[in-house]
Amino acid sequence: MIGKKMEEALNGQINAELYSAYLYLSMEAYFGCENLAGFANWMRVQTKEELTHAMKIYDYVADRGGRVILSAIEKPPAKWDSPVSVFEAVYKHEQKVTGLINDLVNLAVEEKDHATNSFLQWFVTEQVEEEDNASTVLGQLNLIKDSPQALFMMDKEMGQRVFTPPATEGE
């Protein structure tokens, strides 16, 4: 059975993950309007990842006998100045999510909830990857500066990203 404080915190994280999906979906729409289908694809994959994260936490709360309570999802921004500004926002957002995950781990330790602490370690590792992915794309965008040819080539590369669901326990 999950404690009330941890249940509330995990419900907050479900909302944060759903917001992340909503944010990346908005970024996908931005890239679609900018005729950058590869970048839009990258954001679509990111949206699916965030939805998977939310459902992973949702299922965990339910499996531990807790109650999932969904709350309103904040409206994300819809406009950015450039692909660089989008990925600056992505990187900043992923750093914020890392902080939220770290807060959950700290709470699990404080509450002596070893099962939740163990569960959250997957997210700790995932956030290292999320920040690295955002930082890498941002670094590449900063390298190409104002080169439409380089942006076109990068867009093609971004279009190659595919969603791979995380392995389930025991696989």
Task: Look up the domain containing 28 and give its range.
Answer: 4-158
Asked whether residue 169 is assigned to any structural domain, the reply reads no
- What's at 52, amino acid-wise? T
- Name the domain count of the chain: 1
DSSP 81: S
Asked whether residue 167 is assigned to any structural domain, the reply reads no
Asked whether residue 62 is assigned to any structural domain, the reply reads yes
SS (H, E, C) 116-164: HHHHHHHHHHHHHHHHHHHHHHHHHHHHHCCCHHHHHHHHHHHCCCCCC
pTM: 0.94
For residue 171, the model assigns a pLDDT of 46
Going residue by residue through the chain, which has 171 residues, state the pLDDT in tens, using 9 for 90 and above.
999 999 999 999 999 999 999 999 999 999 999 999 999 999 999 999 999 999 999 999 999 999 999 999 999 999 999 999 999 999 999 999 999 999 999 999 999 999 999 999 999 999 999 999 999 999 999 999 889 999 999 999 999 999 998 876 554
Q: What is the CATH number of the domain that holds 78?
A: 1.20.1260.10
Number of H helices, E strands in the chain: 5, 0
- Distances from the Cα of 53 to the Cα of 10, 116, 170, angstroms: 12, 15, 18
